[in-house]
Amino acid sequence: MIDFEKAEIKHLAVHKVGNKLTEDGIQLSTTETKIDDAYTATVLLRYFITSFQMDEQYRFSHPADLSLNELYTYTNAIFDRPEKTHEQSVHMAKHLYEQSVHPKVAAGELCVAYFTGLIYEERTIRAIGIFKTENKDTFLKIDQDSGDFSIRHEDGVNVNKVEKGCLIFDNEREDGYRLCVIDAQRSGDARYWKEQFLGISPVSNEYHNTKDFLSIAKNYVTKQLAEDFEVSKADQIDFLNRSVQYFKHNDTFDKDEFVEEVFQDQGIIASFKTFDETYRTENDLQVADHFDISHIAVKKQERIFKSVLKLDKNFHVYIHGDRDLIERGVDEDGRKFYKIYFDEES
């Protein structure tokens, strides 16, 4: 967690950035944005900081040279001369506009803030925040005048959620800093914030190792396994359940131990290892073969490991345990069936 009780927003700049594909244009402020009162400053700090999760961390990167990453260069300039925050924020806004070419990218306000006094990992640290708001919520405002009340609506930013954000900490500069990211969008525009605008890659820590290997296992079971072997949907669900159970019941990961415990069959193990190598190369993943397991990552990934067996439009069977208690067959009329064994009904 990040302690912002004694933090301050020393500099703040706001611009309006549209979609370049639809020629929305860009509106750049001429000076820093002033914060009028202490309460507004507190609300802004809470809005900017509290949505970030520190388990999943990233760094600025570039395929040729880190110095060619635009955001990395602008970040260096702000940390070197914080009074230049507004000047560098203009460069950031222009760079964001150049990357906003997907038809689903919405226009919105870009906020760039320079923070001091944040406490992270028991030390005081500076940080730069970059935020974009694309959606407005409607709020009702009730006014009182001489005993009478009136009600009207206003559109504004919901301070309980950050849509797109990046918090850059002033450490590990030579390695691209350490930063955390929020991107609430799940549509086709999702890549432009992290990849095209920020230019970041995951830091290889226990969170990313856990998340990425579970992703490899899930993709193998759901996409490749049935192509290489004759397996039923129930078998696939069983492999998914075993994968998650391994990570839930262990504190450290060992690849050889995992494949033996989860897949067991030597043919499937060989198939998985081939898929694993290809998947890492194609998706540019660097996952260690031995690492400490992040149980926070396991909990998040578990949600996408579906254990539901869908039978036509009539039945959904949830399989959570022993695969030996369910049998698949075909009757004399050619109808497919599953036979389920149990001890108690609840």
| Domain assignments of the chain as residue spans, ordered by start | 8-202, 206-340
Pairing of strands 108-120, 252-254: unpaired
Please state the rounded mean pLDDT for residues 64-80: 97
For the purposes of burial, counting CB atoms within 10 Å of the CB of 132, is it exposed (0-12), middle (13-18) or buried (19 or more)?
A: buried
| 317 contacts 309 by C-beta, under 8 angstroms | yes
Q: What is the mean pLDDT of residues 135-157?
A: 83
* Identity at 298, one-letter amino acid code: V
Is residue 320 very low, low, confident or very high in pLDDT (cuts 50, 70, 90)?
Answer: low
Coil, helix or strand for 15?
strand
Q: What is the pLDDT of residue 323?
A: 67
Grade residue 77 by pLDDT with cuts at 50, 70 and 90: very high
CA distance 192 to 70: 14
DSSP 173: G
Confidence at residue 309, expressed as pLDDT on a 0 to 100 scale: 65
Report pLDDT for 16: 96
Q: Which residues lie below 8 Å from residue 47, measured CB to CB, with a gap of 6+?
A: 157, 159, 160, 162
pLDDT value of residue 313: 74
pLDDT band at residue 235 using 50, 70 and 90 as cut-offs: confident
Task: Please tell me the predicted confidence (pLDDT) of residue 252.
Answer: 96
What is the rounded CA–CA span in Å between residue 70 and residue 250?
Answer: 41
Average pLDDT of the residues of the chain:
89
The Cα–Cα gap between 295 and 246 comes to: 11
Beta bridge partners of 168: 128, 179
pLDDT, tens digit, 9 for 90 and up, residues 12-71: 999 999 999 999 999 999 999 999 899 999 999 999 998 888 888 999 999 999 999 999
The neighbouring-strand residues paired with 155 are: 138
Closest CA to 297 of 47, 45, 54: 54
Distance, in Å, from the CA atom of 99 to the CA atom of 102, rounded to the nearest integer, reads: 8
Q: pLDDT tens for residues 252-278? A: 999 999 999 999 999 999 999 999 999
Q: How far apart are CA 110 and CA 107, in angstroms?
A: 9
Q: Which two tokens stand for residue 135?
A: 């959606």
Residues of the chain with pLDDT > 90: what percent?
A: 59
pLDDT score of 331: 80
Q: By mean pLDDT, which of 114-128, 150-164, 303-317, 325-339 is the weakest?
A: 303-317
Query: Residue 321: its pLDDT value, please?
Result: 66
- pTM for this entry: 0.75
Distance CA 17, CA 28 (A): 8
Region of poorest pLDDT, from 87-96, 227-236, 262-271, 328-337: 328-337
Q: What is the pLDDT of residue 257?
A: 96
Residue type, 243: S
pLDDT of residue 326: 76
Q: Is the pLDDT of residue 121 over 90?
A: no
